[in-house]
């Protein structure tokens, strides 16, 4: 079978779900009638390696290597080799279990007498308490993950030092200002993993016979394998053209000038890939001159040239089609549980269809972020109806109804419209995304998102210090973040916070105060998950572009010939933040599991830290201090409950009769009723039908107008009465 283009994700990204870039591009190429195939070589390599056949080859290779080189093994690798037969016996059933095809194996795994155990299992005792709330399946997944990590330790020590499950030779791609080290590594003989990769690649190329092979390289950990693969294509399939795009070139290779890179790739694309790859395919097919490419590096007269045909427009989000996962082995991905962090678990456990609500970021101001690049700067939302159309197409195509919206920050208004559209169509989906902790996320909006299937959100709290949040231009305060995380938590949506330390001019005092804020938020139960990362200055962020504005100095102004993104810098005003890393992460690990809130902060650090200046009840008081909330006339009123059963009766009091109505409701978990005057009851029953989640919502102003047109008494006293407040608790939402 011959195809125009073969799209490849090189090893390694995720084990549980395909990285979506090739599916996005294939979906777009479908709209243009361009024949495209795709492959995730990462999962293919893992499945070939972690099989009885693959491990047999591995053990043979290790034993040959030991005989030839007289190498002294570590005690851990000796143990794994000694248990070789146990690994060969168990590997195929374990992989089937992690693919969801052998669930009953969980009982055997949890007996802790089935899997051979090496050094990774040493951490199990200290994690035992963490599995109290985990079922058999989850515990078995974690044990099986440790088992695979034991094998990976053997691979790193004895077969391929570059190996890692979600990254391969990542160090060679990280801030590689010079191409020298990566180029030198590509001149070495194939490693054990390389051999598996190349065997699979050769078979793939033979079966698809593409004119163009495009590699999506999202992360540094995909870079080496992309170059290794392209090198093989150039040597053995010289008639095929090669291209690279994705997150790594978009951020790192914008000033590429080393011509040796083009020995491997004919084209390197930047930013959104749809228009550039269409232009390249046309050029390969002889329908476009090379001078008319879009956002693409080529080699011309021995020099790297950047071509950007301004006459060729980019495609709108409504024009790019639905992602197409055809050709990817969706039933063969494996779910692992590496750590007990709830949000990191979602990354590695389960299959998620990936979609984007909006291209770019609607905020686009954070000073640590690459806001000068198109993937952040160019903001374009997708219409809610089109987005839910694409969700339905993907459910039909993949058989999976879980969605991860991979936005920089999903816009609250669009999230609301998507949620209403999901409810209108009566779809069953589960979804999660990244957000900003906007005050727009009211309690009612969070409840609506939950009803539509939202299970988790992640957002940047960054540094829990109002001075630094202002310097970052985050557009939020700590108190506001606390109220929003409370709203999500009370709606039953898990909240993960990205936390940052080491921002320019950050003092030790601010770091400790930030930790105290985080401690209080976990203690009050309004955060369920978090992760500390150290600030890194990037070339395309406001801090990287104008470091003097932020009180830091670049260590060098030299622009490399290969990758340029991470910038080393000196901050003469802030603290030495490297030393805070362990204490911040250790304390967070305990807070996430609901323990050690009473420990003095000093106990987490082996050096003297300042006492926190944050009052012990700061977050508690912030939650009491509600934003003044008056309902806007344009607010949408939605009823998400069931249709009421109306029963009329007469109430007698002090010799007077009052015609009344009882509205009885059944919710999924219980029943309740409200009593109002007969006329109000009949109006209310009719209104709830008009504003049900399957209908178009009415504005607050329209509801008031409707009430008054019915000739009823004053609207405000009725709206804020006990019966309506009861309905507010059970699904009458103001959005």
3-state secondary structure 408-452: CCCCHHHHHHHHHHHHHCCCCCEEEEEECCCCCCCHHHHHHHHHC
Q: What is the pLDDT of residues 405-452, one digit of tens each?
A: 998 899 999 999 999 999 999 999 999 999 999 999 999 999 999 999
Strand ranges, E, within 520-623: 529-534, 537-538, 552-554, 566-567, 569-571
Q: Do domains 352-547+574-624 and 636-734 have the same CATH topology?
A: no
Q: Which of 111, 224, 114, 129 is nearest to 167 (CA)?
A: 224
25's CB contacts (< 8 A; 6+ apart) are 7, 36, 214, 216, 273, 274, 277
Q: What is the pLDDT of residue 173?
A: 58
Interval 479-537: pLDDT, tens: 999 999 999 999 999 999 999 888 888 899 999 999 999 999 999 999 999 989 888 88
Mean confidence (pLDDT) of the chain: 89
| Beta pairing class for 454-462 and 430-435 | parallel
Check residue 118 and report its DSSP letter: -
Q: Are 563 and 173 in contact (CB under 8 A)?
A: yes
18 and 325 Cβ atoms separated by less than 8 Å: yes
For residue 620, the Cα-to-chain-centroid distance in whole angstroms is 30
Q: In a 3-state reduction of DSSP, which class is residue 212? A: strand
Distance from C-alpha of 187 to C-alpha of 185, rounded to nearest angstrom: 5
Predicted pLDDT at 191: 92
Q: Residue 134 pLDDT > 60, yes or no?
A: no
Residue pointed to by tokens 């009211």: 442
Say which CATH architecture domain 636-734 belongs to.
2-Layer Sandwich (3.30)
pLDDT of residue 668: 84
> What is the mean pLDDT of the segment spanning 347-352?
78
| Range 120-150 burial, b when 16+ CB lie within 10 A, else e | bbeeeeeeeebbeeeeebbbbbbbbbbbbbb
- So what's the pLDDT on residue 169? 58
DSSP at 556? -
Q: In whole angstroms, what is the distance from residue 157 CA to residue 664 CA?
A: 68
Judge whether 525 and 489 are in contact, CB under 8 Å. Answer: yes
- Buried b or exposed e, range 154-189, using 16+ CB within 10 angstroms: bbebbbbebbbbbbbbbbbbbbbbebeebbeebeee
- Please count the other Cβ atoms lying within 10 Å of the Cβ belonging to residue 726: 16
Architecture of domain 352-547+574-624: Alpha-Beta Barrel (3.20)
Task: Name residue, tokens 């949890």.
Answer: 110
* Mean pLDDT calculated for residue range 236-251: 95
For residue range 79-133, list pLDDT tens digits in order: 999 999 999 999 999 999 999 998 999 999 988 889 999 998 887 655 554 554 5
Mean pLDDT of 220-244: 96
Residue 241, beta-bridge partner list = 212
What is the rounded average pLDDT of the residues 325-333?
A: 94
Q: Which of 44-53, 222-231, 624-633 has the lowest mean pLDDT?
A: 624-633
Is the distance from CB of 54 to CB of 79 less than 8 angstroms? no
Distance between CA atoms of 677 and 418, rounded to whole angstroms? 36
Please give the torsion angle defined by the CA atoms of residues 671, 675, 679 and 682, in that order, rounded to the nearest 10 degrees.
0
CB of 229 closer than 8 Å to CB of 197: yes
Taking only the tens place, the pLDDT of each residue in 53-87 is 999 999 999 888 787 777 788 899 999 999 999 99
Q: Report pTM.
A: 0.89
Write out pLDDT tens, residues 639-678. 999 999 999 988 888 778 889 889 999 988 889 999 988 8
| Closest listed residue to residue 215, CA positions, set 300, 280, 286, 305 | 280
Q: Is the peptide bond before 12 cis (omega within 30 degrees of 0)?
A: yes
**26's tokens:** 């294939």
Q: How far apart are CA 504 and CA 570, in angstroms?
A: 9
The domain spans of the chain are 3-319, 352-547+574-624, 636-734
The CA distance from 262 to 266, in Å, is: 6
d(CA 502, CA 505): 8
**What is the Cα–Cα distance from 677 to 391, expressed in whole angstroms?**
44
* Parallel, antiparallel or unpaired: strands 353-355 and 402-405: parallel
Query: How confident is the model at residue 73, as a pLDDT?
Result: 86
């Amino acid at each position: 079978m011959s195809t125009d283009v073969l799209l490849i994700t090189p090893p390694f990204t995720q084990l549980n779900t395909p990285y979506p870039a090739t599916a996005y591009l294939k979906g777009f190429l479908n709209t243009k009638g361009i024949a495209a195939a795709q492959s995730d070589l990462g999962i293919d390599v893992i499945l070939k390696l972690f099989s009885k056949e693959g491990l047999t080859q591995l053990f043979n290779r290790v034993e040959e290597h030991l005989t030839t080189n007289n190498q002294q093994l570590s005690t851990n690798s000796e143990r794994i080799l000694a248990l070789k037969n146990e690994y060969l016996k168990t590997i195929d059933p374990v992989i089937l279990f992690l693919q969801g095809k052998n669930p009953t194996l969980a009982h055997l795994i949890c007996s802790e007498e089935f899997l051979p155990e090496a050094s990774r299992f040493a951490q199990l005792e200290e994690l035992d308490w963490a599995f109290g709330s985990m079922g058999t399946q989850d515990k078995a997944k974690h044990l099986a993950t440790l088992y695979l990590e034991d094998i990976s330790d053997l691979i790193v020590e004895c077969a391929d030092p570059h190996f890692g499950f979600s990254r391969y030779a990542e160090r060679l791609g990280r801030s590689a200002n010079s191409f020298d080290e990566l180029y030198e590594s590509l001149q070495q003989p194939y490693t054990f993993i390389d051999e598996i990769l190349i065997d699979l690649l050769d078979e793939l190329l033979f079966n698809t016979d593409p004119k163009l092979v495009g590699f999506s390289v999202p992360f540094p950990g995909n870079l080496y394998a992309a170059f290794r693969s392209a090198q093989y294509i150039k040597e053995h399939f010289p008639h095929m053209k090669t291209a690279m795009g994705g997150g790594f070139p978009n951020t790192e290779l914008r000033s590429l000038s080393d011509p040796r890179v083009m020995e491997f790739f004919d084209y390197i694309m930047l930013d959104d890939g749809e228009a550039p790859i269409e232009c390249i395919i046309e050029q390969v097919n002889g329908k476009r001159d090379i001078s008319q490419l879009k956002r693409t590096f080529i080699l011309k007269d021995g020099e790297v040239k950047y071509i950007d045909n301004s006459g060729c427009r980019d495609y709108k989000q409504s024009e790019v089609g639905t992602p197409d996962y055809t050709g990817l082995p969706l039933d063969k991905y494996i779910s692992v549980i590496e750590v007990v962090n709830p949000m990191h678990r979602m990354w590695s456990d389960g299959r998620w269809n990936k979609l984007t609500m909006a291209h770019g970021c609607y905020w686009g101001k954070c000073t640590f972020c690459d806001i000068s690049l198109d993937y952040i700067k160019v903001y374009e939302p997708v219409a809610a109806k089109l987005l839910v159309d694409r969700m339905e197409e993907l459910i039909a195509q993949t058989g999976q109804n879980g969605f991860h919206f991979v936005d920089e920050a999903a816009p609250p208004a669009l999230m609301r419209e998507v949620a209403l559209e999901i409810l209108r169509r009566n779809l069953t989906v589960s979804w999660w995304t990244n957000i900003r902790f906007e005050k727009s996320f009211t309690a009612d909006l969070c409840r609506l998102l939950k009803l539509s299937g939202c299970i988790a959100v992640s957002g940047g709290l960054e540094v829990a210090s109002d001075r630094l949040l202002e310097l970052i231009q985050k557009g939020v305060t700590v108190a506001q973040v606390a109220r929003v995380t409370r709203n999500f938590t009370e709606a039953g949506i898990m909240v993960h916070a990205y936390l940052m330390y080491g921002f320019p001019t950050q003092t030790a005092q601010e770091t400790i105060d930030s930790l105290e804020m985080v401690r209080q938020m976990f203690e009050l139960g309004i955060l369920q998950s978090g992760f500390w990362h150290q600030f890194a200055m990037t070339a395309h962020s406001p801090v990287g572009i104008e470091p003097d504005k932020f009180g830091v100095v670049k260590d060098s102004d030299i622009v490399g010939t290969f990758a340029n993104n991470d910038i080393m810098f000196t901050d003469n005003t802030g603290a030495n933040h490297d030393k805070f890393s362990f204490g911040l992460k250790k304390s967070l690990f305990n807070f996430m599991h609901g323990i050690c809130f009473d420990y003095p902060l000093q106990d987490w650090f082996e050096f003297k830290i300042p006492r926190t200046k944050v009052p012990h009840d700061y977050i508690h008081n912030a939650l009491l201090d509600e934003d003044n909330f008056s309902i806007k006339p344009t607010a949408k009123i939605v009823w998400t409950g069931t249709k009421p059963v109306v029963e009329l009766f007469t109430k007698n009091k002090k010799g007077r009769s009052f015609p009344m109505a009882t509205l009885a409701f059944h919710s999924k978990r219980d029943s309740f009723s409200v009593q109002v005057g007969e006329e109000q009851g009949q109006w209310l029953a009719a209104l709830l039908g008009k504003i049900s989640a399957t209908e178009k919502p009415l504005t607050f102003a329209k509801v008031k107008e409707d009430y008054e047109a019915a000739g009823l008494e004053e609207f405000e006293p009725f709206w804020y009465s006990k019966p309506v407040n009861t309905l507010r608790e059970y699904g009458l939402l103001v959005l």
